[in-house]
């Protein structure tokens, strides 16, 4: 399989940022272009792709920063956006802003236990309460498990309910990791919040009854609207 120069650069930068701490400022577009011997336009497009998938965030006038989560904690109960919003007296809704099938690069192949080049779904959902943006989810699913999945199936429905009812993929457990961060350029436009606004960044992996990973999700949530309760089982 022939890989494009842009995809090769995305893989290289993705590997690079995995060894960097969260909030680390990346070199400038010019410096990256010189380092990887590509044009600045190729660098710009690669960074835009990484921002759209939530791995970096760009802040106008300041630069590009690593968004990789480095604080970890297992959330014992599955996160329920609709339930939390109703408890706050708000009306929840979901808008699907991106639904596409694409090849998995090295980063997503590792996260979804796929081979590089295997097909996956990318589904970006804007979660709203009283029509106000609260959270942006970017979910990546193995295509081979959800071949008949359509955008319409997910409109204002629980994704896990669709997994179970349409594809017999029941979620056995999910690991969720989260950290404090700030909103970058791409997410600020989607969330309609100023760049630099405080937020929560979440990373979730969900597994089926065979302990096979069926979902990898990167999310950005308003930190002024969300709180998490974590219970730790202490073994003596």
What pLDDT is stored for residue 17 in this prediction? 83
Radius of gyration of the chain (CA): 18
Residue 144 has which token pair? 């081979």
Which residue did the predictor score with more confidence, 236 or 50? 50
What pLDDT is stored for residue 93 in this prediction? 87
What pLDDT is stored for residue 31 in this prediction? 93
Which residue did the predictor score with more confidence, 224 or 44? 44
Q: Whole-prediction pTM value?
A: 0.70
User: pLDDT tens across 209-236, in order?
Assistant: 999 999 999 999 887 766 655 554 444 4
What pLDDT is stored for residue 227 in this prediction? 60
Quote the CA–CA distance of 6 and 234 in Å, as a whole number. Answer: 47
Q: Looking at the predicted structure, is the pLDDT value of residue 142 above 90?
A: yes
- Residue boundaries of the structural domains of the chain: 5-66, 81-222
Q: Looking at the predicted structure, is the pLDDT value of residue 78 above 50?
A: no
Residue 92: partners with Cβ closer than 8 Å, 6 or more residues away: 81, 82, 85, 86, 127, 128, 129
User: pLDDT tens across 123-133, in order?
Assistant: 999 998 889 89
Residue 102 has which token pair? 């694409």
Fold of domain 5-66 = Arc Repressor Mutant, subunit A (1.10.10)
Mean pLDDT of the chain: 83
Q: Decide which of 3.40.1640.10, 3.50.30.10, 3.10.20.600, 3.40.1410.10 is the CATH code for 81-222.
A: 3.40.1410.10
Mean pLDDT of 45-56: 82
Q: Looking at the predicted structure, is the pLDDT value of residue 53 above 80?
A: no
């Amino acid at each position: 399989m022939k890989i494009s120069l842009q995809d090769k650069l995305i893989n290289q930068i993705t590997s690079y940022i995995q060894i960097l701490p969260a909030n680390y400022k990346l070199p400038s577009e010019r410096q990256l272009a010189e380092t990887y011997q590509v044009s600045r336009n190729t660098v710009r497009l690669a960074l835009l792709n990484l921002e759209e998938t939530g791995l970096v965030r760009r802040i106008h006038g300041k630069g590009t920063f690593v968004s990789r989560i480095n604080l970890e904690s297992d959330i014992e109960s599955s996160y329920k956006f609709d339930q939390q919003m109703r408890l706050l007296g708000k009306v929840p809704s979901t808008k699907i802003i991106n639904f596409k099938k694409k090849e998995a690069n090295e980063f997503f192949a590792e996260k979804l236990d796929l081979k590089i080049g295997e097909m996956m779904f990318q589904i970006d959902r804007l979660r709203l309460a009283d029509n106000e943006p609260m959270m942006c989810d970017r979910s990546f699913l193995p295509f081979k498990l959800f071949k008949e999945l359509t955008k319409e199936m997910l409109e204002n429905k629980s994704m896990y309910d669709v997994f179970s009812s349409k594809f017999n993929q029941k979620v056995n457990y999910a690991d969720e990791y989260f950290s404090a961060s700030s909103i970058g350029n791409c997410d600020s436009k989607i969330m309609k919040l100023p760049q630099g606004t405080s937020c929560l960044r979440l990373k979730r992996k969900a597994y089926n009854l065979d302990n096979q990973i069926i979902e990898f999700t990167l999310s950005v949530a308003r930190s002024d609207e969300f709180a998490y309760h974590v219970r730790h089982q202490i073994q003596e």
